[in-house]
Amino acid sequence: MDWKVHKLKEGIYMITMTDKETRFFEALWEIPEGIQYNAYLLFTNDGSILFDTGPKGSRGFMEALSSVTDPKDVKALIVHHMEPDHSGYIRELLEVNPEIRVISHPISFRLMNSFYGITPSSKTEISDGMSMEVGGERLRFFLTPWLHWPETFVTFIEGVNALTTGDIFGAYSINGDFLKSSAGLSDQFYLWSMKKYFVNVIGAYRTHVVNAINKIKRLGIYPELILPAHGIAFYGRDSLERLLSIYENWASCSEKNEVVIVLTSMYGFTEEIAREVSAFLEEVPIKHRIFKFTSKGRDEFSEAIAAMQDAQGIIMISSTYENSPHPIIEYLADLMEKKLCRGKKLLLIGTYAWGGGSLATLTNSQTMAGFSISKIIPVNSMMTKSDRDNIREALREMFELTRF
């Protein structure tokens, strides 16, 4: 893990740690692209203010901080989010400088004791819309609960016209650039890293995302710097507007692009079906992606669930396992229920040997979760001409095609 310090503008610095070692973010999401953690340091007329720290279990944060300021000169610590990838150095910082004023949500102080066994000697509990002056700098706090923990909030720093946003607007990936203009939001690779992070980490709280967007819009602020806790920081007075628009689209699932095919296969029967489905979609043509979970290899859950975000339709092809859908398909279905917008069209295809009722539980769960089941097609292992015709007819109905 590599810590660096970057000057954003006069008086404010970004402390970044690039993490290529974590293979599964939150012990769940595959991130071969890596991830970056950010903290921020603001110099004032009376010492400095630190916004968040670094990940628990990492090394080097205190050295990075010491390269730009003496930790004993830090007068205040703002803790936006107590998840240990951002709060991991609170204890060490307080051991060096026990007089630091810790400013955070009331829940955060309970979590500090639970996580690290610490109770700051000087602490301030914030409330929504609260404004205070620290070291001559005016700070305003706005609660954004459940993005993605209950205690999360953002801070508007009036003097440097910056908004620190915690996990909001965060992204996976490690970039050579630490700061970009809002034009950087047109970078398709980075935008995908943001979307993947959004769906994986924040997707379960879409209603709260909409509430936070509306709240921030009403503030009437136009920060020149947007400072998230992961990924790139952005500058430009239109950055916030563009980021809010992106989040609004993702929260509402207003984009409808490719079709997603997910399949499990133990012996190749479902892969044959997937090839037939793919061939049909290419004839139309309809853009699609295939995610395979087979005996020979697996695609990434993090990519699959993120691709489903914008899918106009999802086709699930499951082998039968102990008279039920394959456990991986059941797991994906559970993720879909938690992370995706309701109303998406699903086509369920299941292969079986001696019993053909394995899709019943999946159908019930997905219907109850608010998805629209276009059709259910059982296939007795090897696909026949009749099965092929049924699948093609189901695809025509699913996508309302008058030809093909």
**Over 60: is that where the pLDDT of 11 sits?**
yes
Q: Name the CA dihedral angle for 213, 179, 135, 89, rounded to a multiple of 10 degrees.
A: 90
The 10s digit of each residue's pLDDT in 298-315 is 999 999 999 999 898 999
CA 303 to each of CA 145, 153, 198: distance values in angstroms, whole numbers, following the listed order: 26, 28, 12
CA atoms within 13 A on the CB side of 128: 10
Strands annotated E in 45-182: 47-51, 74-79, 101-104, 122-125, 131-134, 137-143, 153-157, 162-166, 179-181
pLDDT of residue 370: 85
Choose between 8 and 324: higher pLDDT.
Answer: 8
CA 222 – CA 80 distance, rounded (Å): 20
What percent of the chain is predicted at pLDDT more than 70? Answer: 99
CA 169 – CA 195 distance, rounded (Å): 9
**Mean per-residue pLDDT, 330-351:** 93
Rounded to the nearest angstrom, the gap between the alpha carbon of residue 44 and the centroid of all alpha carbons in its chain is 33
**Mean per-residue pLDDT, 333-347:** 92
The β-bridge relationship of strands 324-325 and 153-157 is unpaired
The 10s digit of each residue's pLDDT in 250-259 is 998 877 778 9
Q: Which two tokens stand for residue 308?
A: 């489903």
Query: What CATH architecture does domain 2-252 belong to?
Result: 4-Layer Sandwich (3.60)
CA 66 – CA 3 distance, rounded (Å): 12
**Over 90: is that where the pLDDT of 279 sits?**
yes
CA 86 to each of CA 166, 195, 339: distance values in angstroms, whole numbers, following the listed order: 9, 21, 23
In our burial notation (b when 16+ CB lie closer than 10 A, e otherwise), range 168-186 reads: bbbbbbbbeebbbebebbe
Question: Looking up tokens 């994906």, which residue turns up?
Answer: 332
CA 375 to each of CA 50, 221, 382, 395: distance values in angstroms, whole numbers, following the listed order: 55, 48, 19, 9
- Domain-by-domain residue ranges, the chain? 2-252, 259-398
Nearest to 313 by CA among 282, 288, 346, 281: 346
**Over 80: is that where the pLDDT of 357 sits?**
no
pLDDT, averaged across the chain: 94
pLDDT of residue 360: 80
**Mean per-residue pLDDT, 77-83:** 97
pLDDT of residue 272: 96
Question: Looking up tokens 């810590």, which residue turns up?
Answer: 3
**Over 60: is that where the pLDDT of 70 sits?**
yes
CA 366 – CA 300 distance, rounded (Å): 21
Confidence band (pLDDT; 50, 70, 90) for 403?
low
Which pTM was predicted? 0.94
80 close to 154: Cβ distance less than 8 angstroms: yes
The domain made up of 259-398 has a fold known as Rossmann fold (3.40.50)
The 10s digit of each residue's pLDDT in 157-191 is 999 999 999 999 999 999 888 999 998 899 999 99
3-state helix, strand, coil in the chain (%, to 5): 35, 30, 35
**Over 80: is that where the pLDDT of 358 sits?**
no
pLDDT of residue 366: 83
pLDDT of residue 301: 97
Cβ atoms < 10 Å from Cβ of 193: 25
Confidence band (pLDDT; 50, 70, 90) for 349?
very high
Nearest to 144 by CA among 157, 155, 133, 132: 155
**Over 90: is that where the pLDDT of 143 sits?**
yes
Q: Which two tokens stand for residue 86?
A: 């951002």
Cis bond upstream, residue 71 (ω within 30) = no
34 close to 193: Cβ distance less than 8 angstroms: no
pLDDT of residue 1: 73
Show the CA angle centred on residue 274, arms to residues 294 and 299, nearest 5°. Answer: 35
pLDDT of residue 115: 97
**Over 60: is that where the pLDDT of 264 sits?**
yes
pLDDT of residue 402: 58
Confidence band (pLDDT; 50, 70, 90) for 377?
very high
pLDDT of residue 157: 98
Confidence band (pLDDT; 50, 70, 90) for 96?
very high
**Mean per-residue pLDDT, 244-273:** 92
pLDDT of residue 241: 96
pLDDT of residue 102: 98
**Mean per-residue pLDDT, 129-158:** 97
pLDDT of residue 308: 95
Burial zone of 299 (CB within 10 Å; 0-12 exposed, 13-18 middle, 19+ buried): middle
CA 93 – CA 177 distance, rounded (Å): 28
Angle between the N-to-C axes of helices 360-368 and 327-339, in degrees from 0 to 180, rounded to the nearest 10: 10
- Write out the H or E segment, with its range, that includes residue 9: strand 2-9
